[in-house]
Amino acid sequence: MNIVLMAVSRKYLFLLLLFLFDTVYANCALLIGNSQYENGRLTQPVNDATDLAKALKKLGFQVILKTNLSNPQINQASIEFTACLKKSGGVGLFYFSGHGTQVKSYWKRENYLIPINNNNILDQVDVKRNAFYVSKLLARLKRVRNEGNIIILDASRKKPYPGGRGGLTSIRNTGYSLIAYSAYKNKTIRKTSNYKRNSLYVKLLLKELKTTKRKRIKTIFDNVNKAVRAYGYQWPYRQISLRKPLYLPLKKIKARITETTDKHELPKIAKIQIDKTHITKLSSVAFSPNGRYLLSGGKDRKLWLWNLKSGRLVRTFVGHSDIISSVAFSSDSRYAISGSRDRTVRIWNVNNGRLLDTYRGHNGFVSSVNFSSDGRYVLSGSYDKTLQFWDRRNARLIRRFKRGNWVLSMDISRRFALSGHRDRTMRLWNLDTGRLRRSYRTSSYFMSVAFFPNANRIVSGHTDNTLRVWNMNGRMLRRFWGHSGSVFSVDVSSDGRKIVSGSRDNTVKLWNASNGRLIHTFKHENDVYSVKFTSNSNRIISAGNDGIFLWDLKTKKNIARLVVFKDQQWLTVVPETGAFVASRRGGDKLSIWLRGRGYKLNNNKGYNRADLVKTKLSEK
């Protein structure tokens, strides 16, 4: 027997453990909090979903927490949720907090959950087309045939869309479920103070869930409804059609994965999951021309300098007092520049992180910054409707370009400056004379603009979800269709043959510049605000609300993901294996998916492999 065990590799022992885990029932919960609506922002839903997630983990649920989702993302999350239940057969819990509405469909009324991108929802027809149909979730749950389900619809709020009625209706065919509503049918909840963390319903539900005594789920929601009604202005209710009584707390199931992998080999991991609630949102990234560094800036008001050979954080640049909107390197990679909503432009020494100069000439948010090709000059664009041209050596303002509305985007070549404006116009300026050479007009905003390497053409990204290529004489040569959201960022490869774009539709797209053909789509989990090619155009970098992604253009795979957390911890992970390098506690926020199931590693140290990360990043 001992001889046989010695012959089994550690790799196969790891797979054996996973097989044993698959025989254990798990209880799955999906919690969605939508707050950042384009129209009708809310304060408490994300807090409510986050706090309920913590409580449900303690009660034995495997939790999937999602915040600020579009309709396709809600749909995908529901598929992930039902797949978890199909695998485990346990109890399911679905919670949604945000805007919801009911729409008449033939002879009955149906409930819909409103996604955050609700500017395109103006009437009931739009609701059916662009919101999430609750009955779709119920149909998927019926096919699972699990133990039972708890569905909490906390979406009875006023003004779910312009002209729309708030309040949900009761659901006729609930399946084997308990459905709880935070307000009575056709009614809305009373707006609570924005200074309170949780809504009244969730506050009292959390209180009920903290009990250590085992209770029937029916009793728990009856107690919550009674407590809420005691306040006199909100009347929650529930529908129940469970096959058998369910109780909380459930049996807590926690997968324990021990270190059984070989020192030089890690098991292939299907998916890397990072705690999204703690990720710092990024608005801009840049590659250094020498290929050594990556610079990122965003909501936390700091610049982060990464070593692209090792995946490690080199240093942070501190000085801005508001969100950093744009970053760039000088051509010799010695200097970095940043523009911020604090209305300043700052120049930094890359080698030591020292602040060299601060330019304070703008009266509005600085939206875009860049160096001239020789590194001697700086160009900045702002919501004060101006471009400003600076001498980097003495911080002197050389020239100011002013025409049109807010400057949303900008680029600079050897002779010209390019600015994209909110008045649906792109303007080409002569840097030597300061004169406007040409204007380009469309029916949508110029969210991003860039020169081709030889400055004989221009590419622009727009709020109508398209890219356009122009010649220098003002003629549009080609329009690229494919995105389903505004195009926030564009860049052109060093040979001028490819274009990359990042969009609000959570994708990065690679295009053939000559014929407009879509080559490949890379997927994020959230909005993409910035994209860049490396100097040799073998890789691209993209950044947004879910961190920084490094993509290989030959294999079309994600090489690495770099994340900054709100507590200033950081993480660089190689998705293919799960190997990572991180700050002291950065790796604690990492979970893995194997064979379609998620596991929170109790001990991530075995995957903290700086050598494997460095090897992967060094591959060209």
Q: Is 547 inside a domain boundary?
A: no
**271 and 302 both lie in a single domain:** no
> Percent of the chain, pLDDT > 90?
60
Tell whether 505 and 529 lie within a shared domain.
yes
Residue 414 lies in a domain: yes
Residues 273 and 308 in one domain: no
Query: Which residues have a Cβ under 8 Å from the Cβ of 359 and sit 6 or more positions away?
Result: 344, 345, 346, 347, 378, 380, 388, 390, 395, 397
Strands of 518-523's sheet, edge to edge? 487-492, 498-503, 507-512, 518-523
352-392 pLDDT, tens digit per residue, is: 999 999 999 999 999 999 999 889 999 999 999 999 999 99
Asked if residues 32 and 52 have their Cβ atoms less than 8 Å apart, the reply is no
Residues 136 and 204 in one domain: yes
Together in a domain, 371 and 423: yes
Write down the residue that tokens 């020494």 correspond to. 349
In this prediction, residues 194-223 reach a mean pLDDT of: 86
Q: What is the pLDDT of residue 489?
A: 96
Q: What is the pLDDT of residues 338-347, one digit of tens each?
A: 999 999 999 9
On the question of pLDDT at 260 being above 70, the answer is: no
Q: Do 48 and 170 belong to one domain?
A: yes
Same domain membership, residue 300 and residue 164:
no
Question: Are 343 and 211 members of one domain?
Answer: no
Residues 188 and 300 in one domain: no
Compute CA distances 417 → 169, 434, 435, 487, whole Å: 56, 9, 10, 21
Note down the domain range covering 313. Answer: 295-538
Q: Among all chains, which residue has been given the structure tokens 């471009």?
A: 387
In a domain, residue 2? The reply is no
Give dist(CA 245, CA 202) in Å, integer. 23
Per-residue pLDDT at 601: 54
Same domain, 611 and 472: no
Candidates 140, 23, 143, 19; CA nearest to 74 is 140
544 in a structural domain: no
pLDDT tens digits, one per residue of 542-551: 999 999 999 9
CATH number at residue 334: 2.130.10.10
Domain membership of residue 485 (yes or no) is yes
Question: What confidence score (pLDDT) does residue 186 get?
Answer: 87
In-domain check, residue 285 = no
The enclosing H or E element of 177 equals strand 177-181
Q: Is 605 in a helix, a strand, or coil?
A: helix
Residue 44's pLDDT is what? 92
Are 521 and 618 within one domain? no
Domain contains 590: yes
Which pLDDT value is given to residue 22? 36
pTM for the structure as a whole: 0.60
Same domain, 531 and 599: no
Give the whole-angstrom CA distance, residue 66 versus residue 242. 26
Residue 79 belongs to domain with CATH number: 3.40.50.1460
Distance CA(510)–CA(500), nearest Å, equals: 5
- Give a yes or no: residue 379 inside a domain: yes
Contact between 295 and 282 (Cβ < 8 Å): no
The domain total for the chain is: 3
pLDDT tens, residue by residue, 61-108: 889 999 999 998 999 999 999 988 887 778 999 999 999 999 987 778
